[in-house]
Amino acid sequence: MDILSGLNDMQQEAVKTVSGPLLILAGAGSGKTRTVIHRIAYLMTECGVAPWRILALTFTNKAAGEMRERIDSFGIENTNEIWMGTFHSIFARILRRHAEYIGFTSDYSIYDETDKKNLIKEVMASLSMNEKVISPDTVMNLISDAKNNAVFPSDYEKEYGFYTFKRDIAKAYDVYQKKLAENNAMDFDDLLLNAYRLFTENPSIADSYRDRFLHVLIDEYQDTNRLQYEIVSIIAKGHNNICVVGDDDQSIYGWRGADIRNILGFEEDFPDAKVIRLEQNYRSTSNILDAANAVISNNKNRKGKELWTALGSGEKVHILRNNRDTDEGDNIASIIKELVSKGARYADFAVLYRINSQSRVLEESLLRASVPYQIVRGTRFYERQEIKDIMAYLKLAVNPKDEIAFERALVSPRRGIGPSTMEKLADYAAFKGISRLEACSRAMSVPTLSGSVQAKLSEFAHIVESIAVTAASEGLEAAVKYAINESGYKEALMKRPDDPEGRVRNLEEFVSAAADFEASSEDSSLSAFLENAALIAGADTISDNDGQVLLMSIHNSKGLEFNTVFVAGMEEGLFPLSRALEEESELEEERRLCYVAMTRAERRLYLSYAETRRQYGATRASEPSRFISEVPEEYTDDARPLRTWRPGSSGSRAQFTSSFGTANYKMAARPDEKKNTSCSEQTFSPGDKIIHSAWGAGTVVEVGILNGDVLITAAFAGLGIKKFIPDASRVKKA
C-alpha cells in the first residue's frame, strides 16, 4: 500500500510533515480532505503512531463519518480507536468521564435550543427582566458569545459591565448557569466551556490528555472560535504536534463566533510553524477560478494564495442582468430548461442566495416553468415536535433532575395537569428538597392534591421509572418503544389533525435510529444514545433524489460542488448586505462568502442581479454588487455593468458611481415576454375573486398605488395576506 499514491507534490509534503506545528492552507477544491486522510494513514503506517494517540477534530458528524470511512478503506487495523469527531462530541466524551470534577454527574443532559430558550425565559422572569426590552433570543446570543470567548459569569460584568444592560445580562448569565447545574444539564456551548474549565482547574487531567494525544489535527480551522483555540492549545502544549487545515478565504461564520484571527495568527501562536499551500484546484475551470481569485484578492486580511487548475479555461463567467427580481427567477428557470434540453440534468444546477427570503421569487419562477427543485432548508429530524416530546421522557429517565424535560414530558400528552397543580407540586418539591419527578412518585402523600391528580402524577412517575428499567433490562430499542406506547403519546398523536400519520412515521424512524445505534455502538446505553442524538450535525440535509435543482443559502453550500451555479441577487445592500458596507471586517466576510459561492461551480457560473427588487412590500432600485465589478472583463461574457471606483475607496456605498450604458449589456429576455398583456386591461376592486399562478384562488382586499404601479392586497386560502403588483400573465379575475 502506497499512502502517497495519487497525491500531488504539495499534498505529499503535507502528509509527510509529521513533527511540529503545521498549517495547511487548502484552497477550494484542492483535495483537502484527501490530504488529511492520507496524513492520518501515514502517521499510523509509516510513523508507527497508535490510533488512540491521534485526535482529529471536525465541525460536522458527516465530515467525521466520511473521514473515518475513507481511512477504513486503507485496510489499517484498529482505526476505530482514533479519537475522531466534532469538537462537541469529543469533549462531551471527555466530560462524561470527569463530570464530577466540575459538579455534574456523568448522566448530565444536553439542552438543545428550545430547552435553552425555555430556561432563559424562566431566568428572565425570576429577575423581572422585561422581554419587550431585551428579548430572550438576545440574552441567549449574548451568553453564547461570552462562552465562545471563554468568558465565565464571574468575569462577564468586569468584561462588559460598562454597558448598563450588560449588567443585567451578567446577572442572567450567572443565574442561568446555576439553573443548569441544578438540573444537571449543559447547553452546547457548555460542552466546550466546561471542558476548558475542567482542564484549567485540573492540570493533571489536562496533562493526561496532552500525553495521550501525540498528534492533533483540526479540520476547517478558519471556523474555530476563541474557546476552541484555547482548548486545543492546552492539549497541544508541549509536543506542539498540531496540524490545522483550513482556508482563510472561506471563513464565513464570524456571525456565529468563528474568529479568523486563529488561522491568520497561527504562525505567531506557534513560531516554528510550517505553512504548506494547496493551490491546485480539481473542481473548476480556469475562468471560474481566475474570476474568484480576482474578487478575493481585494481582501486585505488574508494569507494569500492563487488557485490554478489543469481543467482548461471553460466557459466565461456569465453576468445575468434583469429588470426585476421576478425576471431574475424567470431567466434562471429559462436557462436551466434550455440546458436540460441539451442534455444536462436538473441535479447539475444549484441556485444560491444571500438570504433565505430570496427563495420565494425563485420558487415561483421554477414552479411556473415546471422545473423540479428542492430547498435545502427545513426542520431537522431531532427538532421535530414529536421526536422532542419522546426525547423528554428518555432524558428524564436518565436524569431525573432535568426540570426542562420534566415540564415537556408531563404535558405530552396532556394529562389535565394545570398551572395550579404544577405550583402545588413545585411547592412540595421545594419543601422536601427533591426534584418534581420524585415529588410525582410521592404524589399520594401530597395533601393539597386531589385524588385523581395524585393518581395521574403517580402514573407519570411510574412510566418514567419503567423506561429506565426497560432500558437496563431489555435494551435501548425496547425502552424507546415503551416510551412511545406506554406514555399514551402515540394514541393521543393519532387524534391530532396535523398529519398524524407522518408524525407516527417519524416516531417509527426514531425507533429505527435507536435500533441502529444499539447494533453499531460500543456503548448502547440510553444516555449514550441521547448524547449521540443531541450531537448530530445541524446541517440541512439534501435528499438522494438527483432530479431536482437545489436552492440554498450560500452558507449552506459550503463544501458542496455543482456543475452549474447561479448566484442570485448580487446587488448592493443585498450582497454585500447593507450593514457590511461601513465596516471593513464585515465587508471582507461578505467577499469571502462571494468567493465561496463562486468556487462551488465546476463548469458554469452565473452572477445575477436585478435593477429593481421588491423588499418589505416596496419596489426599490438596485445597483449591481461591487463583487461583479471586481471580476476582470477577460473572464466574463459581455453582459456586465460599467462601474467607476474612486481612488482610495474603502468600499462604502457613497464612494463609487455607476453608469449604465445599454451597449454594455446583454439583456436576458423573459420567457413569457411575448405573452404578456398590459395590466391596464384588467381592473381590480375589493371583493374581486382572482386566480394567481403561484398562490391559487384569492380575494382582493385592497387596491392601492405604489410608485405609479397598481398594488393589490389579497387574501389566499392557507397562505394569508399577500401584496403584489399585478401581472397579466400571473393573475386573472376568477
Q: Which positions ≥6 away from 428 have C-beta within 8 Å? A: 439, 442, 446, 448
Bridge partner list, 645: 656
Angle at 338 between CA 672 and CA 609, to 5 degrees: 65
**Sequential DSSP letters for 99-110:** GGGGT--TT-EE
Strand blocks (E) in 262-306: 274-278
- Specify burial of residue 642 (Cβ count, 10 A radius: 0-12, 13-18, 19+): middle
* CA 452 – CA 415 distance, rounded (Å): 11
Bridge partner list, 55: 83, 216
* CA 238 – CA 337 distance, rounded (Å): 59
The reply to whether omega before 576 is within 30° of 0 (cis) is: yes
CA diameter of the chain = 88
* CA 570 – CA 719 distance, rounded (Å): 28
Phi, psi of 611 (to 5 degrees): -80, -25
Evaluate whether 601 touches 284 at the Cβ level (below 8 Å): yes
* CA 566 – CA 687 distance, rounded (Å): 40
Half-sphere exposure (Cβ direction) of 73: Cα atoms closer than 13 Å? 11
Which three three-digit cell numbers place residue 130? 422585561
Catalytic one among 316, 600, 603, 604? 600
Question: Does the annotation count 280 as an active-site position?
Answer: no
Catalytic one among 220, 248, 290, 590? 220
Task: Give the position of cell 379575475.
Answer: 733
Which three three-digit cell numbers place residue 421? 397543580
Which three three-digit cell numbers place residue 80? 476505530
**Sequential DSSP letters for 307-341:** -B-SS---SPBEEEEEEEHHHHHHHHHHHHHHHHH
* CA 554 – CA 600 distance, rounded (Å): 9
Catalytic one among 11, 35, 224, 250? 250
Evaluate whether 89 touches 264 at the Cβ level (below 8 Å): no
Question: Does the annotation count 682 as an active-site position?
Answer: no
- Specify burial of residue 706 (Cβ count, 10 A radius: 0-12, 13-18, 19+): middle
Four-CA torsion 706, 712, 714, 719, nearest 10 degrees: -60
Roughly what angle, to the nearest 10 degrees, separates helices 113-126 and 164-182?
120
Four-CA torsion 193, 65, 476, 442, nearest 10 degrees: 20
* CA 416 – CA 109 distance, rounded (Å): 27
* CA 629 – CA 642 distance, rounded (Å): 8
* CA 505 – CA 493 distance, rounded (Å): 11
Angle at 551 between CA 547 and CA 557, to 5 degrees: 105
Bridge partner list, 604: 564
Four-CA torsion 4, 10, 16, 17, nearest 10 degrees: -170
Catalytic one among 107, 112, 190, 219? 219
Question: Does the annotation count 33 as an active-site position?
Answer: yes
Catalytic one among 17, 33, 45, 619? 33
3-state SS, residue 380: coil
Question: Does the annotation count 459 as an active-site position?
Answer: no
* CA 8 – CA 15 distance, rounded (Å): 11
Instruction: Return the active site residues.
Output: 32-33, 219-220, 250, 600
